[in-house]
Amino acid sequence: MPWPVSSRVSTRSAAFKRNEGVKLELLGREPTTRVEQADARRKKFIAVGFVLGVVAFALVVVAALERSAPPSRCAAGMVLLGPRCCGEGQHLEGDRCVGEPSQCAVGLTVTKLGCVAPARIVPITGGVLRIGPGDWEAQGQVTPRTVDVPSFAIDAYEVNEDRYLECVVASACVDTKSFSGEPGRALGWITQAEAARFCAWAGGSLPSAEQLAFAAAGPQGRRYAWGDTGAVCRRAAWGLVRGPCAMGATGSEITGSHPDGVSPDGVHDLAGNVAEWTAPSSADAALVDVRGGSFTDGAASALRSWHRRQLAAKSRLADVGFRCVYPLASAGGPERSR
């Protein structure tokens, strides 16, 4: 006699549930066969490999970013604040580095008012200055010639506000009313005659155009004061007004704050910061050479040892300052009181 329909349905239902239970048990248990174990190991290897690949990719990206990041344009001991390189621990007020620094660039002195370069002079052994268009940018701007330059001594640093104020206090120099209150900053806003007056008080004179060029180029004819390559922002204070090194600068930097650009003889800032007055070529010269480029120049060609521009001697500009030269015997001591 056939089973009732309800009995057949119940039996099938029970069998289905038993089969499903077996399937669920198989899905939930650990793999036991060799094939299952090998498959599990393969999946683990793939997962671990994926994680290691992601980590390796991240490390490569970080390393690439670190290598591509430009080095700081401020030297060790200085910190970048806006367009300025200030001593560590200082802050910016307007365009001035303010406060007592905890550290300064090598060669500079820490004072309560900031980093200040010492009044030091260095000897320059004379030789033949070969002036000529050594690269295409000089074509049409430089008249080829050779000049014998006798030995002389020169300020290692551009004259800063601190040194010039000493001359004013001694009633030997005119107060130009242009002090920023930052003693280590290169002095600007000074005429050629005022600069010459300071140098006379300090026991020297303004350098000739040939002396400044020789201090920068040397007998080797260096393209830049430091060598033939590397016109980067870390070596000189240039391109600070509209780039490429900074934006918005309104005045000079601290003298000696870019020691990577020092010449082999130990002369700082022969390129950039403030362009420098020279002695007139003749008493009736209408224009006077200023050399070395300045913080306002946006082209690296202004840093070349041959570069010059001409100004009226009575010009008074933020980016024009000076340094002095002396008889060679003056270079005997490490520092000068003036």
Show me where the domains of the chain are located: 5-25+33-66, 78-332
| Single-letter residue type at 73 | R
Q: Are 292 and 207 in contact (CB under 8 A)?
A: no
Of the listed ranges 49-53, 106-110, 156-160, 317-321, the least confidently predicted one is: 49-53
Higher pLDDT, 140 or 27: 140
- Strands 114-116 and 152-155, by their bridges, are unpaired
> What count of Cα atoms within 13 Å lies in the side-chain half-sphere of residue 170?
14
238-259 pLDDT, tens digit each: 999 999 999 999 999 999 999 9
What is the 3-class SS of 209-244, one letter each residue?
Answer: HHHHHHHHHCCCCCCECCECCCCCCCCCCCCCCECC
Q: Are 195 and 327 in contact (CB under 8 A)?
A: no
Query: Element (H or E) spanning 277, and its range?
Result: strand 275-277
Task: Write out the CATH class of domain 78-332.
Answer: alpha beta
Q: Are 121 and 326 in contact (CB under 8 A)?
A: yes
What secondary structure letter does DSSP report for 117?
-
Residue 307 predicted with pLDDT over 60: yes
- 56 phi/psi in degrees, rounded to 5: -60, -40
How much is the pLDDT for 70?
46
What sign does the dihedral 59-60-62-63 (CA atoms) show? Answer: positive
How much is the pLDDT for 91?
98
Of the listed ranges 17-26, 103-112, 206-215, 307-316, the least confidently predicted one is: 17-26
How much is the pLDDT for 26?
40
Residue 189 predicted with pLDDT over 60: yes
Of the listed ranges 1-5, 68-72, 159-163, 326-330, the least confidently predicted one is: 1-5
Residue 82 predicted with pLDDT over 60: yes
Give which of 311, 171, 297 is closest to 239, Cα–Cα.
297
- 169 phi/psi in degrees, rounded to 5: -60, -35
Alpha carbon distance 262, 68 (integer Å)? 26
Average pLDDT over residues 258-267: 98
Q: Are 173 and 197 in contact (CB under 8 A)?
A: yes
Identify the three-state secondary structure at position 288.
strand
Q: Which residues pair with 149 in a beta bridge?
A: 127
Of the listed ranges 63-72, 142-151, 169-178, the least confidently predicted one is: 63-72
What sign does the dihedral 299-178-158-182 (CA atoms) show? Answer: negative
| Single-letter residue type at 185 | R
Grade residue 51 by pLDDT with cuts at 50, 70 and 90.
Answer: low
Grade residue 48 by pLDDT with cuts at 50, 70 and 90.
Answer: low
How much is the pLDDT for 187?
98
Output the six-digit token pair for 221: 């004819």
Q: Are 115 and 101 in contact (CB under 8 A)?
A: yes
Q: Rounded mean pLDDT of the chain?
A: 85
Q: Determine if the peptide bond prior to 244 is cis (ω within 30°).
A: yes
What secondary structure letter does DSSP report for 130?
E
52-75 pLDDT, tens digit each: 665 556 554 434 433 434 458 999
267-282 pLDDT, tens digit each: 999 999 999 999 998 8
Distance of CA 169 to the CA centre of its chain: 34
